[in-house]
Structure 1
Amino acid sequence: MDGLMLDSERAMLETWREAALTESIDADDGLWLSMVGMHDRASFAMLAGHLGEDAATRLRDTSYRLYDERVVAGLPRKNGLLELLDLLEARGIAKAVATSTRRERALSKLAASGLIDRFGVIVTGSDVEHPKPAPDIYLLAARELGVDPRRCVVLEDSEPGVRAALAAGATPIQVPDLVAPGEELRGFGHRIVASLGRAHELLDAVLRGGDGRVAGGVRG
């Protein structure tokens, strides 16, 4: 959801900066970027390890308050998202949201952005014990959809998400947002594309029976 369907990571980074200034906490962008794709519990543990629990709590609470104001207003959808959803629906492809965000906030984001009615299955960080990069969230999403995870394609922007998809046996297509994939992640050989528009083209070719194989390390 975040960074893949919604252009939310930039909003998160901006509220992080504002919260750090408000609370007089020295927290650079690199620390926030290192937490992209993490579950709330894991990101707070990392934050507390760097800043101490008191500063981490103040920074988290203030940034959440500022960010929630943006969520209510509706976060921008990523370019190409609606066209991709239209393609999947026209082809009768079952789809789900699988996000590390806790359920209440995830539903608020999807509703405010006009997306909640596009998905019959929404799995969140509140629904699993082990967050990404563990495979739990994708195994649960596949089970809710009634499909074998090995027949699932996962669209992800973050490294924890790609690792989770691979661990679940699914086929990931990565659309990086603010954080570029490192060499180790690239070594997995999964598809890495520049935009949802390119992912749309790739999936359309597969669904039409063309030579647009999703698996295998072709990038573009």
Structure 2
Amino acid sequence: MIKAAIFDMDGLLIDSERVIMQGCIQAAASIGITYTQAEYVELVGRIWADSTRLMTQQLGSEENFQQVMQGLNAYLDACNHVFPLKSGAQALLQFYQAQGIICSVASSSPMPHITHRLTHTGVLDYFSHVTSGQEVTRGKPHPDIYLLALQKLGLPADECIAFEDSELGAQAAIAAGLRVVVVPDLRQPSELVRGHAHQVVESLQHWLDHHEALAGCAIQAE
């Protein structure tokens, strides 16, 4: 029986990855560097320290990285660093709340980013616990962030389900022993992740529609 659901944030609950990626591409272009979607996707799911190291390598120097970050922040200032919810996110959280299923977040993002984005999309109060990549030394695909989230929940992995959009995030949740629902965002999951995932769905709304239908059947059976 599922007692809790653990959600990634960027690209899963919040439609942020495409905006941030476009900001990186434009900021890099402004200093004469061609930065690609394929390069950005390699950052997705990583904790800040890991993504910083990788992006610095991609851009060729620390100076280039700092300039791109300045350009990205200016780009994101235009939207107050706020992004829309993904399809079905709030409805699924409401459904789980009504079912008595505890919801938590396990995001590689820094804690201020998590609280800011979830607050401004109006869903922070749905979560009993929030776990940030700042709280672990090894980021996804290592299981540490999910193990810490389980510790906060006080529940074993077999009583929880995780939702992820990224390859590294899905690998981390699988390594932690969780059933993982993968909702692809910028890239489809590998065959390895598909083989170990509980399910791969088009959106959180599709997952919700399926479970609302199951709940309706159960009520009718009673």
Structure 1 residue aligned with 2:205, among 193, 197, 213? 197
Aligned to 1:53: 62
- Code of the residue aligned with 1:60 in structure 2: it is M
Q: How does 1:34-73 map to 2 (within 5 A)?
A: 34-50=42-58, 51-70=60-79, 72=80
Match of 1:160 in 2: 168
Report the CA distance shift for 1:205/1:128 in structure 2 as closer, same or farther (over 3 A).
farther
Q: Distance in 2 between matches of 1:52 and 1:73?
A: 26
Match of 1:81 among 73, 89, 92: 89
Out of 16, 23, 46, the position equivalent to 1:15 is 23
Work out the CA distance in 2 between the residues paired with 1:54 and 1:167: 36
> Residue 145 of structure 1: which of 146, 153, 156 is its match?
153
Unaligned runs of 5+ in 1: 211-220
| Corresponding position of 1:215 | none
Q: Which has the higher strand share?
A: 2
**Counterparts in 2 of 1:59 and 1:48: CA distance versus 1, 3 Å:** same
Structure 2: which 5+ runs fail to align? Answer: 1-8
Aligned CA-pair RMSD: 2.0
Q: Is the 8 A contact 1:150 1:168 kept in 2?
A: no
% identical equivalent positions? 33
TM-superposed deviation, 1:208 = 7.2
Which residue type is aligned with residue 61 of structure 1?
Q
TM-score normalized by the length of structure 1: 0.87
Distance 1:63 1:102 in 2: 16
Looking at both structures, which has the greater relative contact order when contacts are Cα pairs under 8 Å and sequence separation is at least 6?
2
Match of 1:184 in 2: 192
Residue 113 of structure 1 is matched in structure 2 by: 121
| Number of residue-to-residue matches in the alignment | 209
| C-alpha deviation, 1:161, in angstroms | 0.8
Equivalent residue number for residue 216 of structure 1: none
Deviation digits for residues 116-175 of structure 1, max 9, x if unmatched?
122121111111121111111111111212211221100100011111111111100000
Letter in 2 for 1:109: R
8 A Cα contact 2:174 2:197, kept in partner: no
Aligned to 1:214: none
Aligned amino acid, residue 181 of structure 2: I
- Cα 1:16–1:82, aligned 2, differ >3 Å: closer, same or farther? same
Which whole-Å CA distance do the structure 1 matches of 2:52 and 2:129 have between them?
A: 27
